[in-house]
Amino acid sequence: MLKRKREIAEAQSRPAAEEQKTGVTQAHICRRYPIGAELIGANETHFRVWAPKARRVDLVLEESAAKNARRTFHPLEREEGSYFSGTANAAAGSLYRFRIDNNPEHFHPDPASRFQPHGPHGSSCVVDPTHFNWSDANWRGVKMKGQVIYEMHTGTFTPEGTWQAAAEQLSELAKVGITVVEMMPIADFPGEFGWGYDGVDLFAPSHLYGTPDDLRAFVDRGHSLGLGVILDVVYNHFGPDGNYLGVYSNDYLTRENENDWGDSINFDGPNSGPVREFFISNGRYWIDEFHFDGFRFDATQSIFDKSDEYIIGAVGRAARKAAGKRSIILVAENERQETKLIQPRSQGGDDLDGLLNDDFHHSAVVALTGLREAYYTDYLGSPQEFISAAKYGYLFQGQPYSWQEAPRGTPTFGAPPEAFVGFIENHDQVSNTAAGQRLRFETSPGRYRAMTALLLLGPWTPLLFQGQEFGASTPFVFFTDVGDGPMREAIRKGRFEFLAQFPSLATEETQKELPVPSDPRVFARCKLDFSERERNKEFYDLHVDLLGLRHEDSRFREQKSGGVDGAVLGPASFVLRYFSDGSIDDRLLVVNLGKQRVLTPAEPLLAPPLGFEWETLWSSESVSYGGPGAVAVATQESWTLPAEATVALRLVPEKAPRRQPKRRKLG
């Protein structure tokens, strides 16, 4: 509840041409959020900003974005806690900035701006969040179990690179079997293209992709098709260009804990209360005003907070409260594999729902390519690694990790299988190759089909990266438009040095060929080509059929804790058994990444119950997927594991009596 009094003497002290009555009332004002511009009437907006560095803050209303546009100045009242607030006659669409301490040349955007129509260096814009006509009143949200996540970058997902164009493709994603779209960061950032991880206006959907209502329409369209939409949020750093927070306060950042991007955000130091409020409000805002179905928290290992309530947990709980009766999902990226993030707060955890499983990805890459360098060093790509991933999620749960010369991870025992998000491609991992090449080009077609089947039928929550479902040939590399100047070269050099951790990419010849992040042609090459859906139909059919099986089959959709066991069948082969009550509706998933093998298996997990036999339910060797054709795997005489293939089997009643063993003379 805020109250703003008109300071007549202060108004009279400035030139009359600059002043305009602000329409301030003496009544208390109820705000939705503690910061930013909020409409409180058809032509009336309340503004509030935290600015402990300022002695005085003026609201600057602008008739247009032109440099010579007419401006009017309105003093804001200082409140307790170094907040400044006030009301002005400003309707939705009004442009504004703030002036600090009467500085005649520098006007700055709102740190909590809801829209920056001309980018982070331009004016902020008043937004009416109630203008959009939502149609998702019956949408109940999403829960972690049963989801298939699809990561997309708005700027490259379609040729147009807009939310409007992306919304037109959502029906196709639903048709494939996707259930949740994960949108890469959209907080506004400078330049004409970028990944979004250097956002500086955390409340402002990027002007590059459309208007805030275009984003609302995307989410609303998703909900109408049964798709959840979650947002990748970056709460570990701000981008270096266009970040004006330092104008208002020195307390947003702290040098006590540096991360990969420099100073970390001050969540637990002096004056950290308003900083925490900023981020908690941001979480509430995306859920409430845009109906997002949750978050993917970026690089939480770089978020340092010793408070009693870890900031990511605090944001998540506030987001759930904002969602009301809707269910949302909260997933974290955490390189250190800290499972406390998904434990309940009553047990010292942070109440999140899921964690990205880098271990599964790294094992898959080693198995498919043989690459064992940099952060792949500690992985074998062995059958046992995939069995352990299916049973326990993370592989490293506190063991020594030679790449970092320290133990890595914490125990996962008791965590549900859906809490671990498995993937073989995402934006980071595709780009961490010389030319952003897709994984299918780094291995054989058979092994790639087999690994795709394991990914999509495993007990974890699978994630696909945009275009993966149709075997996209377009690359995905790191790109950022930073303009001219020293920052451009620094980013290029930094990216190349990062990739040099892979000895195969560190040679002088290779470094010369690496894509330059600021080259617009690099960005353009990353845009998907949807005509490949038809040209690469075998990949498309593979994903449609696998996800259909995952959603419809009684065992593959179950994700039951302790419901899967596995056994090694050979140097490159293994089996997972999905158990049912009474074991008469079990499934087998047999994976062989090597040559064809014939077994006479002494392995209990391959044994059918009495009166039943195994029948092939699905095979990656089908000719419709580009394979040589499916073969019988299980007979009463032996098992045949086709080369570089995954086969799913189900139990059926025996078609013929089980053969009796031949009698052999003893002695």
Positions marked catalytic: 298, 333
Query: In sequence order, which residues have a C-beta less than 8 Å from that of residue 90 and are 6 or more positions away?
Result: 37, 43, 44, 45, 61, 96, 126
Q: What distances in angstroms separate CA 357 from CA 361, 362, 366, 387, 425, one per listed residue? A: 7, 9, 15, 14, 12
Helix (H) or strand (E) holding 427, with range, is helix 427-431
Helix (H) or strand (E) holding 215, with range, is helix 212-224
Cβ–Cβ under 8 Å, residues 548 and 566 = no
Nearest partner of 147 among 399, 463, 445, 366, judged by Cα: 463
The position carrying tokens 């955890």 is 349
DSSP letter (8 states) at residue 542 = H
* Residue 502 φ/ψ region, left for φ over 0, alpha for ψ in the -120 to 50 degree band, beta for the rest: beta
Q: CA-CA distance, 228 to 218, in Å (whole number)?
A: 11
Q: CA-CA distance, 590 to 383, in Å (whole number)?
A: 11
Residue 406: other Cβ atoms inside 10 A: 9
Query: In sequence order, which residues have a C-beta less than 8 Å from that of residue 449 and are 6 or more positions away?
Result: 542, 620, 621, 625, 626, 627, 644, 645, 646
* Residue 582 φ/ψ region, left for φ over 0, alpha for ψ in the -120 to 50 degree band, beta for the rest: left
Q: CA-CA distance, 235 to 300, in Å (whole number)?
A: 8
SS3 state of residue 489: helix
Nearest partner of 421 among 465, 374, 375, 475, judged by Cα: 465
Cβ–Cβ under 8 Å, residues 570 and 383 = yes
Cβ–Cβ under 8 Å, residues 345 and 312 = no
Query: In sequence order, which residues have a C-beta less than 8 Å from that of residue 364 and are 6 or more positions away?
Result: 381, 424, 451, 454, 455
Q: CA-CA distance, 409 to 338, in Å (whole number)?
A: 6
Backbone φ, ψ for residue 330 (5° rounding)? -125, 115
Q: CA-CA distance, 28 to 80, in Å (whole number)?
A: 16
